[in-house]
Structure 1
Amino acid sequence: MPNIHVLRTELDRTISALKDSVREKGLGTTVGRVAAVAAGQAAFPVTKAMRQNETFDFHGERLPYWFARYNNAFLNERTVEVAIAHWFLSQKRGRVLEVGNVLVHYGFQADTVVDKYEVIPGVLNDDIIDYRPAEPFDSVVAISTLEHVGWDESPREPEKVFKAVANVRACAKPGGRVLVTVPLGHNDALDEGLRTGEVKFPAESYLVRDNRRNEWRETTADEALTKRYGHPYTGANGLYVGMVL
Structure 2
Amino acid sequence: MSPIEATPPTLTDDLALALRLADAADDVAMRRFDAADLLVDTKPDRTHVTEADLATERAIRAILDAERPDDAVLGEEYGSSGDTARRWVIDPIDGTHNYMRGIPVWATLIALSVDGVPQVGVVSQPAIGRRWWAAAGHGAWTTTASGETRSIRVSSVDEIGASSISFQSIQQWDGVELVPALERLARAVWRDRAYGDALPYMWLAEGRLELVAEFDVKEYDLAAIAPIVREAGGRFTAFDGSDRVDAGSSFATNGVLHDDFLALLHGEDPR
**TM-score under structure 1 normalisation?**
0.31
Greater share of strand: 2
